[in-house]
Structure 1
Amino acid sequence: MTDYRHRPPGGPRRGRLAAHGHNVFAEMSALAAQHDAVNLGQGFPDTAGPDTVVESAVRALRAGHHQYPPVPGLPGLRRAVADHQQRFYGLDIDPAREVVVTTGASEALAAALLALTSPGDEVIALEPFYDSYSACASLAGATLVPVRLHAPDFTFDTRDLAAAITGRTRILLLNTPHNPTGAVLSVEQLREVAALARAHDLLVISDEVYEHLVFDGVHQPVATLPGMFERTLTVSSAGKSFSFTGWKVGWATGPADLVTAVREVKQHLSFAGGTPFQHAVADALRLPGEYFATATDRLRRRRDLMTDGLRALGFDVRPPQGTYFVTADITPLGERDGMEFCRALPLRCGVAAIPHQVFYADPEAGRRHVRFAFCKRESVLRQALDRLKEGLG
């Protein structure tokens, strides 16, 4: 396998940053505020996570943990991350060498792309994709190459993935459970991806922030497959699993050479931070299995509430297998453009959503789909559905 430890992270950065998605997110939030709309565009919960974890953060603050943690993260949190990977997936991780704590998963992804690609390299990502992927690839001078997930099931053809690989391809960037579609890659799909990665000597960055929010099927990290741990950097965070998105505590795990490369870049981004929150997240990762099962069941009920409600209003909806989000096809309503639909929705119905166009490299793609977040209280979701019924009726 190629040694990536000495790949130069520097060099000229070229390419325009893909800020379009974040601009649209801000626009929809502003419209929601202007029209006092229920904001189902924002992908964060409207309730806090476990009280015990909040109290852990309070104890850390009162104990005086106010200064920088070590750059790789607090030893206790790195141990908790390693134990989590062993407990849930059977992965044997060295907390001292194979874990780095980051300022959310977003920093882990940015640092990984900056560390592991050089100008001119290509990064393959499943499309639609979280818009920071494109921006971070651009910062590194790399090119993001999309491989389309096809509606309505949002599956991909391995032949398309194979055809996208060139001599410049360095990384396969996976996201499962997948934002924005809610698809969960099957074990068979992951095996096919792994076979291509091994055959072409590619690295894999696996974005697994929704790992504990799977409603149908199971989540299996690609790093667990034969020959994949040594070429895979796995990224996750506390934000989605524990409903503390504002704490911005994430991590990356993998072989020591990849983790070291990420850490060397990460120290020039945030250096380190979130000391009291790191103490609390270490405790969160040790919560009993009952917590994870209960949290998933609660969110599954909200998924079903939102999916059934949207379908009753005339949307074409496939229940997502995971994540916070449900994708709805607006064409049965006589609508043709998700951007126009979402821009009108706050005034028309008092609800905000996100058009799928922002998740595609081609702005013409995804026009028929919009994304609603269902990580809100059931009363809020019912209010949103009532407003949609009145405004669309």
Structure 2
Amino acid sequence: MKHARSGIGKIQKATGAGSLFSAHPSRADTFTESVIREMTRLALAHNAINLAQGFPDFPCPGELKIAASEAVRNDHNQYAITWGAKNLRDALSVRVKKFNGMDFDPETEITVTCGSTEAMMASMLAIIRPGDEVIVPEPFYENYGPDAEISGAVPKYVPLAGDFSIDEEAWKKAVTRKTRAIILNTPNNPTGKIFTKSELSFIRDLCVENNLVALTDEIYEHIVYDGKKHISLGLLDGMEDRTVTIGSFSKTYSVTGWRVGYALAGEELTARIRKIHDFLTVGAPAPLQQAAVAALALPDSYYHGLAEEYDRKRHILFDGLKKAGFSCELPDGAYYIFTDIASFGKNDVEFARHLVEKIGVAAVPGSSFYHKGGETKLRFTFSKKDETLHDACTRLEKLS
């Protein structure tokens, strides 16, 4: 799989022709490690500023730290209910109704998972049969291809248009009698694209007409700019029972290491997801589930402030990248800038290595977000302190 083959720092260990592993191949042989996480290790090795992996270098809200500490002290240290502590599922039901406009029964339609990563994997394993096809729009977050293959599916990569809009004819042609699901990520990683109501309606019609399930990764739902609005696909008529809406506390509350996410779906889909989740991870960390309840109690002003903070950071990095010679546009959502590096005369892997080793800034090679292509792209994150971004921009000036 091309999207997982940066070759930046990895040297694959050769296995002899008669070895146990060459004689017994596995699903793991079809993809490599995460390129994004590999870039973090290279950033550490070269003392570079890490604008590759999307985690903040600033603290989470103080209320969450207090709640997590109190949960540990109050002995929330044993298994929670497998599909999530009741008070967290209740709070999620209220929050999702208020923000997304969707009704989910906390007893039968909400599953708390070990991050959105497990939510997507458990959902795919619950829905996919070996040989099914899954439509994956590209560019895409690098996990989706391996997720499909691990579940036994065949990923069908459908390129977005040049402006990252949906090419309806390409999507229609991609659907076959084997197609089972569509993956959608909005706001999108790596592009920052927010899919419009019209585009979501097209996907809805495609799903209904072909009896497909939509798996929607919406973890950046509160990080949107310039008056744009996030719309959940599951809110559209006809999608209530054929959508799994995936969310996480990681990005909204700056706790990427907590690994608390969730999957929202109708009762029939949820019953399947919960069985997979139970045997996959048993449950998310019990004390951090209690802290997540405190996160959901934050006032609306928190979410407005979050978007304003990231809007400022967005402009800091954008201005620095443009000054350094990168071709890019301001994203509509999420906290990444997807750049074109054709003018620098190197492919994405070569240029990413040059940046981390010689300039002291780590970014993600664009080809990790494509099945085929992306060699003229790099992704940078601005989920960092202002001073970190200013420092990175100063280093990048060496390129101009």
What TM-score do the two structures reach when normalised by structure 1?
0.93
Q: Give the Cα–Cα distance (whole angstroms) in 2 for the partners of residues 30 and 276 of structure 1.
A: 29
Q: In structure 1, what residue type is equivalent to 2:375?
A: R
Give the aligned partner of residue 9 of structure 1.
none
Give the aligned partner of residue 206 of structure 2.
196
Q: Give the Cα–Cα distance (whole angstroms) in 2 for the partners of residues 168 and 359 of structure 1.
A: 24
Q: Give the Cα–Cα distance (whole angstroms) in 2 for the partners of residues 109 and 213 of structure 1.
A: 20
Query: Deviation per CA, 1:67-91, whole angstroms, max 9, x where unpaired?
Result: 0000110000101111111111221
Q: 1:210 aligns with which of 204, 213, 220?
A: 220
Give the aligned partner of residue 98 of structure 1.
109
Q: Which runs of 4+ in 1 moved over 3 A?
A: 13-21
Partner-residue secondary structure (3-state), 2:157: strand
Give the aligned partner of residue 376 of structure 1.
384
1:168-187 superposed matches below 5 A: 168-187=178-197
Partner-residue secondary structure (3-state), 2:368: helix
Q: Give the Cα–Cα distance (whole angstroms) in 2 for the partners of residues 147 and 371 of structure 1.
A: 20
Number of residues of Structure 1 aligned to a counterpart in Structure 2? 375
Q: Give the Cα–Cα distance (whole angstroms) in 2 for the partners of residues 29 and 111 of structure 1.
A: 26
> Do residues 149 (structure 1) and 157 (structure 2) align?
no
Give the aligned partner of residue 6 of structure 1.
none
Q: Give the Cα–Cα distance (whole angstroms) in 1 for the partners of residues 33 and 186 of structure 2.
A: 20
CA contact (8 A) 1:17 1:139 kept: no
Q: Give the Cα–Cα distance (whole angstroms) in 1 for the partners of residues 32 and 324 of structure 2.
A: 30
CA contact (8 A) 2:366 2:379 kept: yes
Unmatched 5+ stretches in structure 2 = 1-24
Give the aligned partner of residue 4 of structure 1.
none
Q: 1:129 aligns with which of 120, 132, 140?
A: 140
Q: Give the Cα–Cα distance (whole angstroms) in 2 for the partners of residues 146 and 21 of structure 1.
A: 20
Give the aligned partner of residue 88 of structure 2.
77
CA contact (8 A) 1:328 1:371 kept: yes
- What's the offset of the Cα at 1:344? 1.3
CA contact (8 A) 1:21 1:359 kept: no
- What's the offset of the Cα at 1:20? 3.2
CA contact (8 A) 2:112 2:284 kept: no
Q: 2:251 aligns with which of 215, 240, 249?
A: 240
Segment of structure 1 superposing worse, 345-354 or 25-34: 25-34
Q: In structure 2, what residue type is equivalent to 1:73?
A: G
Unmatched 5+ stretches in structure 1 = 1-12
The CA RMSD over aligned residues, in Å, is: 1.4
Q: Give the Cα–Cα distance (whole angstroms) in 2 for the partners of residues 186 and 14 of structure 1.
A: 39
> Do residues 111 (structure 1) and 125 (structure 2) align?
no
The structure-2 alpha-carbon separation of the partners of 1:149 and 1:21, relative to structure 1 and needing over 3 Å to count, comes to: farther
- What's the offset of the Cα at 1:15? 4.5
Give the aligned partner of residue 45 of structure 1.
56
Q: 2:359 aligns with which of 349, 353, 360?
A: 349
Q: Give the Cα–Cα distance (whole angstroms) in 2 for the partners of residues 48 and 289 of structure 1.
A: 19
Give the aligned partner of residue 8 of structure 2.
none
> Do residues 35 (structure 1) and 46 (structure 2) align?
yes
- What's the offset of the Cα at 1:128? 1.3
1:249-268 superposed matches below 5 A: 249-268=260-279
Q: In structure 2, what residue type is equivalent to 1:209?
A: I
The structure-2 alpha-carbon separation of the partners of 1:116 and 1:80, relative to structure 1 and needing over 3 Å to count, comes to: same
Q: In structure 1, what residue type is equivalent to 2:148?
A: A
Q: Give the Cα–Cα distance (whole angstroms) in 2 for the partners of residues 116 and 85 of structure 1.
A: 23
- What's the offset of the Cα at 1:19? 3.7
Q: 1:317 aligns with which of 328, 332, 335?
A: 328
Query: Deviation per CA, 1:179-206, whole angstroms, max 9, x where unpaired?
Result: 1111110111001110111111111111
Q: Give the Cα–Cα distance (whole angstroms) in 2 for the partners of residues 14 and 132 of structure 1.
A: 18
Query: Deviation per CA, 1:227-261, whole angstroms, max 9, x where unpaired?
Result: 11111010000001100000000000110111111
Q: Give the Cα–Cα distance (whole angstroms) in 1 for the partners of residues 106 and 39 of structure 2.
A: 41
Q: Give the Cα–Cα distance (whole angstroms) in 1 for the partners of residues 95 and 75 of structure 2.
A: 27
Q: Give the Cα–Cα distance (whole angstroms) in 2 for the partners of residues 239 and 386 of structure 1.
A: 29
Q: Give the Cα–Cα distance (whole angstroms) in 1 for the partners of residues 33 and 54 of structure 2.
A: 13
Q: Give the Cα–Cα distance (whole angstroms) in 1 for the partners of residues 51 and 235 of structure 2.
A: 34
- What's the offset of the Cα at 1:108? 0.6
> Do residues 291 (structure 1) and 302 (structure 2) align?
yes
- What's the offset of the Cα at 1:29? 2.2
Query: Deviation per CA, 1:343-378, whole angstroms, max 9, x where unpaired?
Result: 11112211110011011112xx01111000100001
Give the aligned partner of residue 387 of structure 1.
395
Q: Give the Cα–Cα distance (whole angstroms) in 2 for the partners of residues 261 and 18 of structure 1.
A: 26
Give the aligned partner of residue 20 of structure 1.
32
